[in-house]
Chains A and B, each alone.
Chain A
């Protein structure tokens, strides 16, 4: 049973860079056709997809975050990373990592981490 665990600083100041990691419990991180994603949820709001990446380096991002976001997959460390620059209060959210099996044209997430709260405040 796959386990995903997010980690990172819980409090940032406006204009800081958000850096989060997600540890993956098995070798599916380096297996095709899996993709790995970040999804966030602002307090009391719905889910927002941030982006998805594969261990081969294919990445695609939510157009609303283009230019601020980057992701990477480190299969040797079994870790997925998220980097979001120039954060503002609107980036305050619970950030989830998730796995997309990559076997469907629909794209879907069959495993999720428990999420980590990031608060942006001066």
Chain B
């Protein structure tokens, strides 16, 4: 079982805003990173640390962090945003790395 919990499935209407959440005790001490994975492809980093977005990632992707919860928000979801999204951080002891179970985002 994962130390980071995500909702398995989330849907959003095209052009609307959606938030994907990640919960875990380790988030009390560490920020989460977020990855997008389309079928058959490698994961792609889309947001990390307190407020960092890699070069080339659209600014409609943003992240927040509060207490034991991290969130990835897509403002104005596009068809190409349909994918699996994984959060990742460290375990509560800070000794190893963990991924959330993933959230499948459907854009309607």
Contact = CB atoms under 8 A, between A and B. Distances in A.
Interface stretch (B12-20, B71-79, B95-103): B95-103
A52 B88 CA distance: 14
B19 to A, nearest CB: 20
B43 A110 contact: no
Interface of A: 37, 39, 46-49, 52, 60-63, 96, 104-110, 112-115
A94 B34 CA distance: 20
Interface size grouping (class) on chain B: 20 to 34
Given A47-B86, A47-B102, A107 B97 contact: yes
Contact of B2 (A46, A107, A110, A115): A46
Given A46-B102, A62-B96, A104 B43 contact: no
A49 B97 contact: yes
